[in-house]
Amino acid sequence: MRITNIESIILLDKLHIVKVHTDEGLVGVGEVSPMNAHVSHSVVEQALAPLLIGEEATDIERLWRRLYTKPYKLGPGGAQLNAIAGIDIALWDLLGKAAGLPTYQLLGGKYRQSAKVYASSMSRSMTPEQEAERAQSFQEKGFHGYKIHSSTPWMHDDGFDQTIATVTAVRKLVGDDFPILVDVNNAYYEHTAIKLAHALEDLGVWHFEEPLAAHDYAAYGRLADAVDIPIAAGEQEYTTWQFRDLILDGKVDILQPDVIKCGGITEFKKIAVLADTFTKPITVHNTQQTIGTSAHAHLWVSTPSCVYPQEYNIEHNPILDDVPIWKNPLVPVNGEITPWDLPGLGIELDDDAVAKLRTN
């Protein structure tokens, strides 16, 4: 089964999906993290696609290494790994379709039947009371926790921050047994993060996500030593080597790879082995409710270390809520997601919807 074409598609000028076409007529579908769709599109078309045409589509490990090493002066990290992720996910989709098996079966089968998810609120425009009411509504829908984003990203102690007020309001409405998670997107210096972590411990927060600059592993290590609350990070790490350093130097408690950022399913599997080696749980970074969530779902049910409820973005998504790009959307039911028992990722794209939203 030879690769004949890599189709890079930008939707609504900001979202990025990839199709891998083969000489047997099978097509695999993947998604790229939407940090900058035009940049990742260029990487796919100019740097990666020429390396794949004519290659055997099922040689995924060899092809991943080729995509990683040949254009290595582009990174490797960021846009290169994001672009590789879209292609790699499509190759795993293809492999499942060729084998007639769901992708999770190719990853070792089901360790668990479904994955619990928590509601991830991306809004920074609500008052603490409004956020609390929203959290309570998702608690009533069966979600297994609620995450807030409560400060200005990378603000260096100098920006909008209503973390304590919001957690206090949410805890008052949801009670003591409903998990609250806090993501501050690299907002603090070390001394402030330690102070906030102790306050969040007292409020019963489940995990404290990315409180420090992503690159400062030494500070993460000191933070982890100073507090008891679980520290979570990893959405800005792309390879097993970076996760190795995040574990050994950063001493984080919870790892957060994102399959559409970290080089796809191939690299995610290796990160999961690393997590097991160091007895670390994985709670993924998952903000894309379409192909990204489907790819994650196959990993969640087949990966032992994905033990806690995983992230599910609850914000409005135009390619899911307005003009759905697939015919069989994978959405939470009573706070759980179960991947389709269909070949590959189980995605049935609506080509008419894709064409309507396409902007390249």
pLDDT of residue 74: 87
CATH of the domain at 216: 3.20.20.120
Per DSSP, what are the bridge partners of residue 18? 8, 30
**What is the DSSP track for 219-236?**
HHHHHHHH--SPEEE-TT
Looking at the fold, whether 301 and 182 belong to one and the same domain comes out as: yes
Which range marks the domain in which residue 169 is found?
Answer: 106-337
pLDDT of residue 234: 98
Looking at the fold, whether 132 and 91 belong to one and the same domain comes out as: no
**What is the DSSP track for 258-275?**
-TTTTTSHHHHHHHHHHH
What rounded mean pLDDT belongs to the chain? 97
Q: Has residue 345 been placed in a domain? A: no
Q: Has residue 343 been placed in a domain? A: no
pLDDT tens digits for range 291-323: 999 999 999 999 999 999 999 999 999 999 999
Report CA dihedral (61, 63, 64, 65) to the nearest 10 degrees. 90
pLDDT tens digits for range 30-69: 999 999 999 999 999 999 999 999 999 999 999 999 999 9
Average pLDDT over residues 210-217: 97
Q: Has residue 173 been placed in a domain? A: yes
Residue 222 pLDDT greater than 90, yes or no: yes
- Tell how strand 231-233 and strand 115-120 pair up: unpaired
CA–CA separation, 57 vs 65, rounded Å?
Answer: 14
CATH of the domain at 84: 3.30.390.10
Q: 73 pLDDT band (50/70/90 cuts)?
A: confident
Contacts of 92 (CB under 8 A, 6+ apart): 28, 60, 103, 106, 264, 265, 266, 295, 344, 345
Instruction: Name the strand (E) or helix (H) holding 244.
Output: helix 240-248
CA–CA separation, 112 vs 76, rounded Å?
Answer: 33
pLDDT of residue 159: 94
Looking at the fold, whether 119 and 230 belong to one and the same domain comes out as: yes
Closest by Cα among 133, 117, 131 to 163: 131
What's the length of the chain? 360
